[in-house]
Amino acid sequence: MSVISILGAGEIGAATAYALARRSRVRDVRLVDTAANVAAGKALDMRQSGPIEHFDTPITSRGDLLDAANADVIVIADAFAEGEWEGERGLALIKQLIRAGTTAPIVFAGPKQVWLMEAAVREGGVAAGRIVGSAASAAHSAVRALAALELNGSGVDVSIPVVGRAPGFTIGWTSAAFGGSSLAGQIPPHRMLAISDLLKKMWPPKPQAIGAATAVIVEGLVTGSRRHLYATTVLDGEYGERGVATMVPLELGDRKILRRIEPSLSTQERVEFLNGLSRKN
């Protein structure tokens, strides 16, 4: 069981802490923010809901950001006062954590943190295999939910590739399935197009969805995952790109990315995906 430090007691950080605690698959969740009283208050609120929702994962708080350096996984979320850790401010934090000796994988939960992920590798010296972005994972979940609505079913039963850079994701409709059966013929083409258009308008995802997605990514890093998880990674030579962040299916475990999986796309979908990488939108 692992200790997870979440940097930022804003909406995303709090939603992530709550999702992790409710799932009861980590040893300790720590909410870290320089607004120490706010972090402590939110941690207490979550602990109070434990007896009601039947979870007992300890949720604690810290006021010193560098206390996160000894965690098993670090989540970069949103500070209560300043919002998402991003840009040069976010990069300075990453460099501080590195100087403090952290070797933990870093999960970037904010939808505005794509540049920061790339800069962490390019300028911070963090290995690409140690960082994962989770906000786009919520977009993948959104597509599954929207497709399920068309079928009067559950998104849990929908399997569909969603890859690329936000908000211009590529959806692999040609290999999508519902309950193990191909979606071809089950959802009309004009409805597929409508879902693709709606996905762009739904970006960025709301904190609750990001928190749920981040919790799954964190668990995959520390315990491994039986299935491939769609999340943002910094490419390390794949598709002829290095240092570019994009969402692809990943195999996680042993506190790192074990493998970047080739998504199942048609020729046209693959061209769309690769064009999105070259545009670096």
pLDDT at 281 over 60: no
Banded pLDDT at 226 (limits 50, 70, 90) = confident
Asked if the structure places residue 47 within a domain, the reply is yes
pLDDT of residue 198: 98
Banded pLDDT at 57 (limits 50, 70, 90) = very high
pLDDT at 163 over 90: yes
Residues 197-213 have a mean pLDDT of 98
Tally of domains in the chain: 1
Contact 67, 5 (CB under 8 A): yes
pLDDT at 280 over 70: no
Phi then psi for 266, rounded to 5 degrees?
Answer: -70, 170
Asked if the structure places residue 53 within a domain, the reply is yes
pLDDT of residue 227: 84
Percentage of the residues of the chain whose pLDDT score is greater than 70: 99
- Minimal CA–CA distance to 253: which of 121, 101, 97, 73? 73
- Minimal CA–CA distance to 164: which of 248, 261, 262? 248
pLDDT of residue 239: 94
| Axis crossing angle, helix 11-23 with helix 36-53, rounded to the nearest 10 | 30
Contact 91, 219 (CB under 8 A): no
Residues 172-178 have a mean pLDDT of 97
- Minimal CA–CA distance to 250: which of 260, 236, 241, 237? 260
CATH number, residue 66: 3.40.50.720
Asked if the structure places residue 144 within a domain, the reply is no
pTM recorded for the entire structure: 0.97
Banded pLDDT at 278 (limits 50, 70, 90) = confident
- C-alpha–C-alpha distance, residues 208 and 18, integer Å: 9
CB count in 10 Å sphere of residue 73: 23
Asked if the structure places residue 74 within a domain, the reply is yes
- Minimal CA–CA distance to 18: which of 72, 69, 55, 64? 55
Asked if the structure places residue 205 within a domain, the reply is no
Residues 196-216 have a mean pLDDT of 98
Domain housing 14: 3-135
Residues 47-58 have a mean pLDDT of 97
Asked if the structure places residue 216 within a domain, the reply is no
Q: Rg (Cα) of the chain, in Å, rounded?
A: 18
Asked if the structure places residue 41 within a domain, the reply is yes
Locate 34 and state its tokens: 């320089």
Locate 272 and state its tokens: 């769309």
